Amino acid sequence: MIVQPEPNQPAFTTSLLDSIQADEFQAADFSQKIWLSIIEDYNFYSYSAAALGYFLLLVMALLRSQKNPVNIYLVLALSASLAWSGYTAFALKTPAIYISEALPLETLYYAGWFAFLIILIIHQQFNYNYALLSHYRRIYVLPLLVIAALLLETGTEFRYFVQHLIAFDPRFLFHVGFAITGLVLIEQLYRNSNREQRWSVKFLCLGLGTLFLVDFVLYSHSLLYEKLDFTIWDSRGFIHLLSAPLLAISIRRIPNDTLATEISVSRQVVFHTAILFGTGLYLLLMSAAGITSGIMVAVGGKLRKLFLSQWPFCCC
């Protein structure tokens, strides 16, 4: 608000009004600079917020690490998540570092959560018996995929060679697969749990499921359009921060839950495929939409002329 001095005011009153007016302009200019800084560095603040959330979760998990043997895998997963989000925020403020250099840490972030979910399934369904690893040997493919992704993300020449052969960036394909794998593990964990166990893991499944779902949408779009979707990528850190309270509730429940109960312990885990069906259908629809979009762009002018010429006839 601009204050206009009244006529015949004393000189000291006029100078006082001028100083108030200058202070108001300075405050407005300062707040505008803050908002512009937030908008320009939105992705940096996003991943910094994620790093802060994972740091608090890690401290919380370390304080309760001796109450449940499963927590050691949770600490490893949170440590990998903190390293990934923190390094991504650092890379965004360092011009000499490309954000693609954070992809190996993101792969380790996936690997940490995969290990935690698998151990949790073993802990729940097999009562510390590692029969899952012998009965379901296809699970050994997972660490091989993680190693292959790390080789692609750290070896530039090898990645260019593979990319030249398949004509698209294989890193997007691996991260789509990792997101689907995380969703599948969450589905197995939740749907094979009994009622008491679901009380302990439902917030964990909801929090991690949200993160894996966002990653699936992000990398499936990136794979389809052959470039990273920065609209989703920039906001991903804030999504991780919003999921942190759900993970915090799970950390509090796991040490006091019924995971170690021997009531109706199942030796056979039923493999549910709803997630596989849903993600496959989504990818199929995305591919169809991409093909349709390409056709419309290619012949859009002709279709538009045809539509405009036939529109009066259609209305009649």
pLDDT > 60? residue 96: yes
DSSP H/E element including 36: helix 11-40
Q: What is the mean pLDDT of residues 74-95?
A: 94
Model-level pTM greater than 0.85? no
Measured CA to CA in angstroms, residue 94 lies from 88, 98, 281 at distances of 10, 8, 39
Q: Which residues contact 51 (CB under 8 A, 6 or more apart)?
A: 82, 85, 86, 89, 237
CA-nearest of 77, 132, 52, 48 to 254 is 77
Higher pLDDT, 28 or 202: 202
Statement: residue 247 has pLDDT above 60:
yes
Contact 2, 28 (CB under 8 A): no
Decide: helix, strand or coil at residue 155: coil
Q: How far apart are CA 156 and CA 298, in angstroms?
A: 34
What residues does each domain of the chain span? Answer: 45-294
Which range has the top average pLDDT, 39-43, 98-102, 134-138, 203-207?
203-207
pLDDT of 45-64, one tens digit each?
999 999 999 999 999 988 87
